[in-house]
Structure 1
Amino acid sequence: MAALLCFSCCHCLAAVFLSISSVIALVHGDVHSFNIGHEMERKQVGSCDFFQGSWVFDDSFEPLYDSSSCPFIGGGFDCQKNGRLDRSYLQYRWQPAGCELPRFNGIDFLEKYRDKKILFVGDSLSNNMWRSLICMLHSAVPKSSYQFGSKGQLSFFSLQDYGISVNWLKNGFLVDMAYEQIGKVLKLDSISTGNLWLGADVLIFNSYHWWTHSGHLQSWDYFQYGTNTVKEMDHMEAYKIAMTTWANWVDNNIDPSKTRVFFQGVAAVHINAKEWGDPIHKDCSKQTEPLKGSTYPGPPVPGEAILKTVLSKMAKPVYLLDITLLTQLRKDGHPSVYAGGGPKFVDCSHWCLAGVPDTWNQLLYAALVQ
């Protein structure tokens, strides 16, 4: 009998959720407040596209937290602790074309989402964004008591004074991965653990990077879709099928009057410096400034178009945090050799904290509270 790989401890996680829920009250927003928020989201997107713009150096701009004062960053994202000496990458702010992006206000965020539950579901890029957000909230109320930890695939953070929980559930594919006699099977049309996503006031999903893996980095042996089990297929076609499965789950299970759904979007990687016309460097190493302007000279990210197509066909509202362009321009924002794995380990996929993910949360804040 197949046993779920990614969530074999489903009952254990459910118990953790219940334990946390016993401490943190979950009070859903009413229909009226959600509909007003949704209308304003559409109006804001129509009047100004937050996701088109450029990075502007501002010597008066400082991150909302310092990596040395946030206890939640984790070794791989703490570039300063791992030896990065330059700090100019921390003083670039995202400037949308034609409007201003609201400055993140942690106190306002906490007051508006008092007694709410926010859940990130996704891969390590989701973890990157989650840790950024809890650092931003902690820095707003540094004297408030908090709970922070993990159990199985669930990592949790809560501020007791505000009754808010901000959790991350690791799930890189969103669809099921199962052990079978033939090996690890990625089931493109199956989601059996979606009950763990229910009950949140805000859901922020993410899935893309694991789908691009191949060779020794690939974490599955077979794809399964319907009655077909195959050793190999086009990974982007598999991604499209899986995201359609996820979209159908949201359409069938989410009540928009109680839960607002976001998709984190596809973050760029910088593993080939030729994409931005750099003949000297190989990848993101030794990059100290963003690309200028508001266009990326390299090829598009295939997952971006696929995701937008899937979202456009959904019946329920999902807000896309369309971070692809703003990350494409930030070749300087990765840990590179400052990920804590030694000088031979270069990380051009994740992002330094403080850094670029703080802007993702600024965009999330703009969508949630405006």
Structure 2
Amino acid sequence: MAKAFPREKYANLKYGRLVSSIAISVVLLTVFVTWDSWMLLSRPSNSIIPIYFYGAADVSSDLDAFVSQEGDDHVAKVDHDDEHESEVEVSAEEVIDQSADNSGCDLYNGEWYYDSEGPLYTNNTCPILSQTQNCQGNGRPDKEYENWRWRPFNCELPKFNATKFLELMSGKTITFVGDSVARNQMESLLCILWQVEVPQNKGNRRMQRWHFRSKSVTILRFWSAWLVHHTTEPFSYVPDGITKLHLDVPDETFMELAPKSDVLVFSNGHWFPKQSVYLLNNKIVGTQGYTLPVKHHQSLKITDTEAYKISTETALAAMATHSNYSGLTIVTSFSPDHYEKGAWNTGGSCTGKVRPLLPGQVVEYEYTNIMHDKQETGFYQATKRLTNRSKLKLMDITEAFKYRHDGHPGPYRNPDPNKITKRGRNGLPPPQDCLHWCMPGPVDTWNEIMLEIIRQEFEGNKKSAL
């Protein structure tokens, strides 16, 4: 017969096992907490944890609400469930993107898309466009280039609303200053506005002036290819007939009336490769296309691109410091050309380009990039000198318009039926225009962007609702 086990000893054994179990549980819990803490602190910096600490204020509050609703158990899942962690990270990024949308719109980062509705005017409904930009009137056979529109990635860029423009500019004057590219943009604006109201021509040989009576809106244009004072009179050892540019003196042709404008639009740069001599403080500091006597070469430090930067700063600073100017100055960035296999006068061509380039197809032109960078530098230098109540805005169209090799007149720059085949004495074909823009065409987008800039300044920086 088995010997009975004493009850007292059984109770003591049971009590000992209980104590041992509790001790083991405490040890295991300590190990678990230590391990979990180490894993939390050693977690990679790109995990969900840093979002709580480094995210924007709205992100933190959003996640705090998420945690309080779901409880501690769900927080543990966020730490250890990678799939759910990714979902939370995307949600946080979306909050950040929404915050960025509210802070403004990047009008210059986007894509070209085909709009079947077409342009707001035709070459037959705008009586004032220059013949050299009247591509359809000059016999261009394709029309697809008229239908491509620019679409920013993170906001809307509506079609130009002529009525809205006239309302915003009621009682105001907008002035275009620059070379023939500035004229190209101004004529585009006039062609669009012409569809809702025919303006009065009050201009003269010195300046173009158009007036829209319904809202008392005036559009002016001054020719100023360099934006600084220039003369062909003899200077020192440089004879008569050579253009001299005083890079530190703004052009008086626009300084007289431009300060009375409410909106100024500058657009230039394409005359700097032409023959000229550069001066600073009435001293010759550089040349372009002209050779000085050898003994004077050591003083030449300013190139045509550097002269562009200095002249840009000079002209913009003159407006930014003018005591009687409080308007909005918009600088249209350097307009890219698309000459292939030569320059405008050496057989360069853009014939046969019928649609925009695709991403990865753009051929970078070093000169275009340098001129854009120099202009941008001059612009930002001028902003540092701002002393009046005016505003400076850079309308940076250069990168987007590198894709529009299809938008130039090319050989269709006049109605001559022999324009494509007729060659000169040197055997080269007639010059093409791969710099200016057909109308209707891509240049109309410049005015869509310009209108959005004006709207933001006059109505406040909010997403477009035109």
Give the structure 2 partner of residue 114 of structure 1: 170
Structure 1 pair 154–44 and aligned structure 2 pair: CA distance change class (3 A): farther
Letter in 2 for 1:289: R
Give the structure 2 partner of residue 179 of structure 1: 232
CA distance in structure 1 between the partners assigned to 2:109 and 2:202 by the alignment: 36
Give the structure 1 partner of residue 357 of structure 2: 291
Instruction: Specify the SS of the correspondent of 2:185.
Output: helix
Letter in 1 for 2:129: I
Query: Is 1:238 aligned to residue 307 of structure 2?
Result: yes
Query: Is 1:50 aligned to residue 136 of structure 2?
Result: no
For 1:155-188, what per-residue CA distance to the aligned partner results, in whole angstroms no more than 9, with x for missing partners? Answer: 1211122211111111111101113222331111
Query: Is 1:212 aligned to residue 265 of structure 2?
Result: no
Give the structure 1 partner of residue 319 of structure 2: 250
For 1:279-315, what per-residue CA distance to the aligned partner results, in whole angstroms no more than 9, with x for missing partners? Answer: xx96311110110138734235211111212222314
Shift of 1:150: 4.0
Query: Is 1:148 aligned to residue 204 of structure 2?
Result: no
Instruction: Specify the SS of the correspondent of 1:270.
Output: coil
Tell me if the contact between 1:55 and 1:93 (Cα under 8 Å) persists in the aligned partners.
yes
Tell me if the contact between 1:145 and 1:161 (Cα under 8 Å) persists in the aligned partners.
no
Structure 1 pair 241–282 and aligned structure 2 pair: CA distance change class (3 A): closer
Query: Is 1:362 aligned to residue 448 of structure 2?
Result: yes
Query: Is 1:66 aligned to residue 131 of structure 2?
Result: no
Shift of 1:239: 1.2
Tell me if the contact between 1:240 and 1:307 (Cα under 8 Å) persists in the aligned partners.
yes
For 1:135-163, what per-residue CA distance to the aligned partner results, in whole angstroms no more than 9, with x for missing partners? Answer: 11111x1xx44212642331121112221
- Aligned pair count reads 312
Instruction: Specify the SS of the correspondent of 1:204.
Output: strand
Query: Is 1:101 aligned to residue 157 of structure 2?
Result: yes
Shift of 1:254: 6.0
Q: TM-score, normalised by structure 1?
A: 0.78
Q: 2:329 aligns with which of 261, 266, 287?
A: 261
Structure 1 pair 152–331 and aligned structure 2 pair: CA distance change class (3 A): same
Structure 1 pair 223–45 and aligned structure 2 pair: CA distance change class (3 A): farther
Give the structure 2 partner of residue 336 of structure 1: 410
Instruction: Specify the SS of the correspondent of 1:180.
Output: coil
Give the superposed CA RMSD. 2.4
CA distance in structure 2 between the partners assigned to 1:61 and 1:325 by the alignment: 25
Shift of 1:368: 0.9
Tell me if the contact between 1:122 and 1:207 (Cα under 8 Å) persists in the aligned partners.
yes
Tell me if the contact between 1:53 and 1:294 (Cα under 8 Å) persists in the aligned partners.
no
Letter in 2 for 1:166: I
Structure 1 pair 239–163 and aligned structure 2 pair: CA distance change class (3 A): same
Give the structure 2 partner of residue 272 of structure 1: 340
Give the structure 1 partner of residue 261 of structure 2: 200
Shift of 1:326: 1.8
Normalized per residue, the structure richer in helix is 2
Shift of 1:100: 1.9
Gaps of 5+ in 2: 1-99, 288-301, 421-429, 457-466
CA distance in structure 2 between the partners assigned to 1:113 and 1:338 by the alignment: 35
Q: 2:371 aligns with which of 285, 300, 303?
A: 303
Instruction: Specify the SS of the correspondent of 1:64.
Output: coil
Letter in 1 for 2:148: Y
Q: 1:159 aligns with which of 212, 215, 229?
A: 212
Q: TM-score, normalised by structure 2?
A: 0.63
Instruction: Specify the SS of the correspondent of 1:271.
Output: coil
Give the structure 2 partner of residue 319 of structure 1: 393
Structure 1 pair 209–45 and aligned structure 2 pair: CA distance change class (3 A): farther
